[in-house]
Amino acid sequence: MRDSDFPYDASRQALEVIGVRIAEHKQQITEALSLSHANEKTLRKLAGTSLNDIESLLPFLGFILRSTNIRNGFEAYFPLQRLCQKVLGDDVSLLLSSEWKYSPYIYNTHNPSVSLLRDFVMVGLPAHESANPLILPLAGHELGHAIWAHKGLNKDVEFVSRKFVEGYFTKTWSECQIHFAPQSLPDFFEKPSPLFLEAVQWANMQLQEIFSDYVGIRIFGKAYLNAFAYLLSPNKERRRSPAYPSTSDRINFQVEAAKAFGAILDNHYVDEYSKHFDNRQPVAWKSEREKILLDAAETAVQSSVENIQNLADRIVEEAGIETPDESSGCHLAQHMYSYLAPCSGAQSIAEITNAGWKIYNHLEEWQVEGDKMQLLRELLLKSFEIHEVETRISNANRFRDNSGHAEESGPR
């Protein structure tokens, strides 16, 4: 793999980090074998530790290898890397790759077994859509998960969720207790009961998903909603995971957040967006006890969601990331639509993707020959490249001006 051609340094850096860990295991085993008093128990322990690491790291090696695939949208890499560093710091590196999952996916590099990769944000876009720039806003959701882990938000959110779940059971204990093992309410909280902890965990997992939606919406605006509907609707009929908010709640949360962040959503758009997901059939729960635990979790979510929205807004704002300007997006869309040429002057890739969605939503009316979708993809990817060149020139000029100012004001 070291002999592969990597499109950016982060892939090679991550590979070298893994290589160092494997070399350490090899050295430890070699040294143990060289000792005259080496015993089988020690060797088995070292071999077991090595095997566990290899098993944990193997998916990351596959991810790194797929980051070299030419089907990936490399044109978006550096703008996305800049977004990650604005929010998480300059020491963080982005790995953008493809993943054979239907939805975008992020690897949890804060898992203790792979903590050596904690400075890498690994976002895998669906392989079948990895070259489609219109779904790029969904990477904002995966960035939200990275923010949640890097900033250690789970601990503070769990403390609040726990209080709300306690409040739910305090109010409903007389109805709920018949579905649980005989115990008093204080014991249910203080021991605590595994069922109580499960409700708190479900609330936290749902809030993390909602937070990640909010980050994606705050960064990409309306384009996030369009990409979400494009990839994930119509909603599949299957048993709902307690780790996710209900589809109807999630859509409502997204719409309200988009409005709060400045997106222009008229009633027609909201109705049409909701209709993409309204085919879900009610699914019976495994038991009444599971339903009660989920009700407790959802009570905590409903009570916390406004604070989670404010938290996402504050983190992105403090990073200096602006919500895309819809009027600018209209101008960029009109340029590409009319002149069939990539656009310049965009303030962010979010503005470009919003412009792309404006064209996509009128694709049938576009009077061009050939594959319209392919043309739109090429215009967007070229626009990303132009934006990157303009950003680098602007940064270089700013650095030069600041350096010149420092020289002028310094000692002569």
Domain ranges of the chain: 9-133, 152-318, 326-409
Q: What is the enclosing helix (H) or strand (E) of 123?
A: strand 120-126
Are 126 and 165 contacting, i.e. CB atoms less than 8 angstroms apart?
Answer: no
> What are the tens digits of pLDDT across the range 367-399?
999 999 999 999 999 999 999 999 999 989 988
Rounded CA-CA distance 386/187 in Å is: 62
Are 243 and 209 contacting, i.e. CB atoms less than 8 angstroms apart?
Answer: yes
Give the per-residue pLDDT at 412: 40
Strand 105-106 and strand 93-99: the pairing is unpaired
The structure's pTM equals 0.89
Q: State the amino acid at position 373 in one-letter form.
A: M
List Cβ neighbours of 94 (8 Å cut-off, separation of 6 or more): 10, 77, 80, 81, 84, 120, 121, 122, 123
Half-sphere CA count of 289, side-chain side, radius 13 A: 9
Residue located via tokens 């969720």: 161
Measured between alpha carbons, how far is residue 182 from residues 41, 173, 177 in Å? Answer: 45, 12, 7
> What are the tens digits of pLDDT across the range 288-329?
888 889 999 999 999 999 999 999 999 999 999 998 988 888
